[in-house]
Structures are given as C-alpha cells and as structure tokens.
Amino acid sequence: GPSRDGRVRIGFVVKQPEEQWFQSEWRFAGMAARDKGFELIRIGAADGDRVLTAIDNLAAKNASGFVICAPDPRLGTAIEQRARVNDLKVMSVDDRLIGPDGKPIDSIPHVGISALAIGRMAGETAIAEARRREWDIGRTGVLRIAYDSLETGRDRTMGARGAIIAAGLPPAHVFDAPQRTTDTEGGFTAADPVLTRHPDLRHWIVTGLNDEAVLGGVRAAEGLGLRADSVIGVGIGGSGTAEAEFAKRQPTGFFASILLSPRKHGYDTSVAMYEWIVRGSRPPSLVYTDGKLMTRDNYRRLLAEEAA
C-alpha cells in the first residue's frame, strides 16, 4: 500500500548502476516521478543476493512496486516470489525475466530491446558501409569483441555476426576477441593481439556489446597503423563515448552507433508502473523498443530529441 504520507513509492532496480545507460534510465525515471508526483527509489543490485536485498529494502520503505533490470534473467522466479511475499508489483526493463522452464515469465510485463535484432542492425550497418566503401570482401576481417558471459552481450554480438555472414562474408573471417572487462581498455587489450595476428587483412569491421568495447577495438587498430578509412566500428548504445568520437574533427574508425532510448526505458516504464499501482491498469506484457542508427551526420539531432 501507499506509504505513511500517502505518496506512492516506486523502486527502480538496475544491475550496473555505474553504467551510463542505467544512470540515464534513472534520470528519466526521476523525471517521470516529478511529473506524476510519486517517489522513486533507486537501488543498484549487481547480483542475485543483492536483488533480493533490494526488494526487501523496497518493502521496508513501503513501496508499491518496482521496475527492474536484473543481473540475470533467470532470477525471474526468485524476483517474482520475493515480490509476491512483499506484496509488490513488478515490471522488467532491458532484460526479460525467464522462469525455470526457460520461457519468459508472462506475468511480469516487460519493456526492452531485442538484443539479437539490435546486434543484427549493427552488423547490417557495418556491412552496408563496407559495400559503400567498396572493400574487398576477401581482405576484410570482422572483429567480434566478445563478452559471452553476459547473455545480452552474446546476443548482440552474435546478431551482428549473423547479419555480416548472411551478407556474404566468409565465417572464417570473423574473429573473436574475448574481453575481460566491458570498458575501452578491456576492448583494446582483447583486440590488439587478434589484429596483430592478421596483417594480411586490410579492412576491419569491429563489433562489440557496447560503444566502449568497440572503441577499444578501433583504438587498437589505429595503434597498428590502420587508418579511419580501413576500419568500420559500429557500437551499441549511443553513449557519451560515441558522442565524443563523432565530435572529433576528423572522422575516426568509429563509424556509427545504435542509439537505444533510455527515455522509453526509464520514463515510460515507471509511468506504466505508476498507472498500474494507482489505476490498476496492467501494462502490456511485452513492448520492444527499437534502436536508431547514429552517425556523425545525425548524432546532434538524435541526442537533442532524446533529451527533450
């Protein structure tokens, strides 16, 4: 029920609170809270144990429901149970929760991207640009900066890989560079030896789960003397990292990013949760949001639209 002072309280739990993406989601959720007059409680929860603790904390604060991006989709059952015990409504964002049978839990409404589809979009963007530059496919390599322990990371990069292979590039030209950390340095360190190993390949497409990883790959290529016109990096996120690359005077190998909308994920979800609590109108069980292609040419406009 509502708290002592009658205000509705809604939790917003995210798995990696340090990440820019989640910071943005929180910011938009905060805007929703101001607009609708509810109180938002932000909690970061990096693993299953902390997710359960976060739910208990929300209950202690008399919240009525929460939106969550869980550190793992298979926490679904536990989250559902814990929410039920504490009488909290729950909605997922970004990553969809699944049950013990491996199927999505329909009782938990979800708003998110399709990681595979976004990845495919990145791959298609890259291959289209390669065609435009008239690269010799036989001398083009693809760097998949891999972080496969994260499911959406794997889906995104495999989506890109799939799209590129479907476009005719030989699978033997796709090389995995496993990264230890998802930051630029991690991408850099992973990419460097792989690029080194293939001096014969003149052109490179770089994919990764986020802008930072791809940027690391691009920087490594530059370090090996590959110039902007022989590298196509397509990131995912449309983050500040991508913005900074586009803002540089000279184009770099970082060609594009797929802009995801933290606004829809943050603002729309918390509003939906608010409506559910006060009006009892259950949100639709699945909403996919799409990504927008962001390049040097359009990034200012897209970001302005997003911030509006």
Partner 1 sequence: MAQSSPPLLRRLGAAGPLLIFVVLFALLSVFVPDFFGVRNMRGLVLSVTLVGTIATTMMLVLALREVDLSVGSITALSGVVCAVVIASTGSVAGGVLAGLAAGGAVGLVNGLVIARLKVNSLIVTLAMMEIVRGLAFLASGGEAVSIPAERFYELGSGTLLGINYPIWIMIACFMLFGVLLNRTVFGRNILAIGGNPEAARLAGVPVDSVRITVFCLQGLIAGLAGIVLAARITSGQPNTSLGLELAVISACVLGGVSLAGGVATITGVVIGVFIMGAAQNALNLLDVPTFYQYVVRGGILLAAVIFDRLRQAGGLRLARRAASPSPSQSSEKGSATA
> Segment 254-293, which members bind partner 1 (CB under 8 A)?
none
Part of the chain binding partner 1 (CB under 8 A), chosen from 87-95, 125-133, 175-183, 268-276: 175-183
Task: Please tell me the distance from the alpha carbon of residue 127 to that of residue 272, in angstroms, as a whole number.
Answer: 38
Pull the structure tokens for residue 147.
């972080």
CA 236 to chain centre: 7
Q: Note whether 305 binds partner 1 by CB under 8 A.
A: no
The minimum distance between CB 39 and partner 1, in angstroms, equals: 9
Part of the chain binding partner 1 (CB under 8 A), chosen from 111-119, 122-130, 169-177, 276-284: 169-177
DSSP state of 133: T
E strand or H helix at 78, and its extent? helix 76-85
Neighbour count for residue 138 (Cβ, 10 Å): 11
Pull the structure tokens for residue 4.
């002592």
Three-point CA angle 129, 131, 220, nearest 5°: 55
Within 62-91, which residues bind partner 1 (CB under 8 A)? 62, 71-78, 81-82, 85
Q: Note whether 99 binds partner 1 by CB under 8 A.
A: yes
Name residues whose C-beta falls within 8 Å of residue 273's C-beta, 6 or more positions apart in sequence.
10, 65, 66, 67, 89, 91, 283
The minimum distance between CB 148 and partner 1, in angstroms, equals: 5
Among 2, 31, 36, 59, binds partner 1 (CB under 8 A): 59
Within 177-206, which residues bind partner 1 (CB under 8 A)? 177-178, 180-181, 183-185, 188-190, 192-194, 196-197, 199
Among 31, 41, 117, 167, binds partner 1 (CB under 8 A): 41
